[in-house]
């Protein structure tokens, strides 16, 4: 799809970070946008900011961990707004796990899988049948992460596990739609090329009570990119970051080009992916990656 004019784009996690930047970039390119998020306050703020710029924007509260909530969103998009041609399964969180893997709180695992993995599955289940029935060119974009899909960093095993699982789903969905000669194109979006400055470091702000973290559970204490920068500096490392608007521009280019892999990687990460692939094929032990 090269022309987004009047197309409806549905974006989960659309209130903040990458999702918010996608909404602005898509509406600047002529699309209508429907942003969906669990954070009602940020959702209203983003919708109002979009409308103030002249965007045709709707907002819907949505919890991606709940299949009924995604079904409501799909019904709204298709029955009230006339159908969607771009769907972004983008909502995601960081669990804030810290320390040895065997000491993590079960609720950190459950919450992260509920949002990052099940959220994507529920979005696929609600939207794919409708996109397929619509029988016209459409795009389904899954926000993954190189952290898990391509590299396994030592310090975020929960997040990495969710993103490894999501990537398997995205690639299988790609193969299935190609085999079916479906007009629905699948894209795997990897925000980058560096750590993206978003609200993900403070995901605890949208943590539901049912996944409450026990008071004694280990936690990173990192609540922002600035916190991460300070922590890395203490180890003599520098943090380079990417603005989410750059991710949105890269995503739209990838959709226009029909690319499955929307994968901006910095040279350090690229080298680490190659080293990991070499270690798999050479059967040597995995090299330890570091954030580039």
Ligand X SMILES: NC(=O)c1ccc[n+]([C@@H]2O[C@H](COP(=O)([O-])OP(=O)(O)OC[C@H]3O[C@@H](n4cnc5c(N)ncnc54)[C@H](O)[C@@H]3O)[C@@H](O)[C@H]2O)c1
Residue for token digits 């310090």?
Answer: 155
24-32, 88-96, 251-259, 266-274 -> range binding ligand X (CB under 6 A): 88-96
Nearer to ligand X, 92 or 182 (CB): 92
Considering the rule CB under 6 A, would residue 164 count as an interface residue with ligand X? no
Contact between 81 and 8 under an 8 Å Cβ cutoff? The reply is yes
Number of residues this chain uses to bind ligand X (CB under 6 A): 30
Both tokens assigned to 108? 């950190």
Considering the rule CB under 6 A, would residue 65 count as an interface residue with ligand X? yes
Contact characters 8-37, ligand X, x per CB under 6 A: ----xx-xxxxx-----------------x
Which H helix or E strand runs over 32? strand 32-37
* Nearest approach, Cβ of residue 216 and ligand X (Å): 24
* Nearest approach, Cβ of residue 126 and ligand X (Å): 13
Give how far Cα 224 sits from Cα of 59, 140, 229, 232, Å. 26, 29, 9, 13
Just list the catalytic residues.
Answer: 159
Report the C-alpha dihedral over residues 205, 147, 193, 87, rounded to 10 degrees. -70
Based on the number of CB atoms within 10 Å of its own CB, is 3 exposed (0-12), middle (13-18) or buried (19 or more)?
A: exposed
Candidate residues 77, 93, 164, 186; the one interacting with ligand X per rule CB under 6 A? 93
Both tokens assigned to 198? 């978003």
C-alpha to C-alpha distance for 227 and 229, rounded to whole angstroms: 5
Give how far Cα 13 sits from Cα of 69, 86, 170, 206, 291, Å. 13, 14, 18, 11, 24
Contact between 142 and 190 under an 8 Å Cβ cutoff? The reply is no
Considering the rule CB under 6 A, would residue 91 count as an interface residue with ligand X? yes
* Nearest approach, Cβ of residue 90 and ligand X (Å): 5
Contact characters 32-61, ligand X, x per CB under 6 A: -----xxx--x-------------------
Nearer to ligand X, 140 or 182 (CB): 140
Nearer to ligand X, 13 or 292 (CB): 13
Contacts to ligand X by CB under 6 A: 12-13, 15-19, 37-39, 42, 62-65, 90-93, 115, 143, 145, 191, 195-196, 198-200, 203, 206
């Amino acid at each position: 799809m090269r022309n987004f004019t009047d197309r409806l784009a549905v974006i989960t996690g659309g209130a903040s970070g990458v999702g918010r930047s996608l909404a602005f970039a898509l509406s600047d390119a002529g699309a209508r946008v429907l942003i969906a998020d669990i954070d009602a306050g940020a959702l209203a703020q983003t919708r109002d900011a979009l409308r103030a710029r002249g965007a045709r924007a709707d907002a819907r509260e949505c919890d991606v961990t709940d299949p009924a909530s995604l079904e409501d969103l799909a019904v709204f998009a298709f029955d009230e707004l006339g159908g969607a041609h771009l769907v972004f399964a983008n909502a995601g969180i960081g669990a804030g796990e810290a320390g040895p893997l065997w000491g993590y709180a079960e609720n950190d695992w459950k919450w992260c899988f509920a949002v990052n993995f099940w959220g994507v599955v529920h979005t696929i289940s609600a939207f794919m049948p409708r996109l397929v029935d619509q029988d016209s060119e459409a795009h389904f974009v899954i926000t993954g992460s190189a952290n898990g899909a391509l590299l396994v960093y030592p310090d975020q095993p929960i997040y990495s596990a969710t993103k490894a699982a999501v990537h398997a789903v995205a690639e299988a969905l790609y193969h299935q739609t190609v085999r079916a000669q479906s007009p629905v194109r699948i894209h795997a979006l990897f925000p980058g090329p560096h750590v993206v400055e978003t609200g993900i470091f403070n995901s605890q702000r949208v943590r539901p009570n049912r996944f409450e973290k026990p008071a004694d559970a280990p936690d990173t204490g990192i609540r922002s990119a600035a916190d991460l920068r300070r922590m890395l500096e203490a180890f003599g490392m520098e943090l380079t970051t990417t603005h989410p608007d750059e991710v949105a521009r890269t995503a739209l280019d990838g959709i226009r080009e029909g690319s499955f892999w929307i994968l901006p990687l910095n040279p350090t990460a690229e080298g680490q992916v190659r080293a990991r692939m070499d270690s798999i094929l050479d059967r040597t032990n995995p090299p330890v990656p570091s954030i580039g």
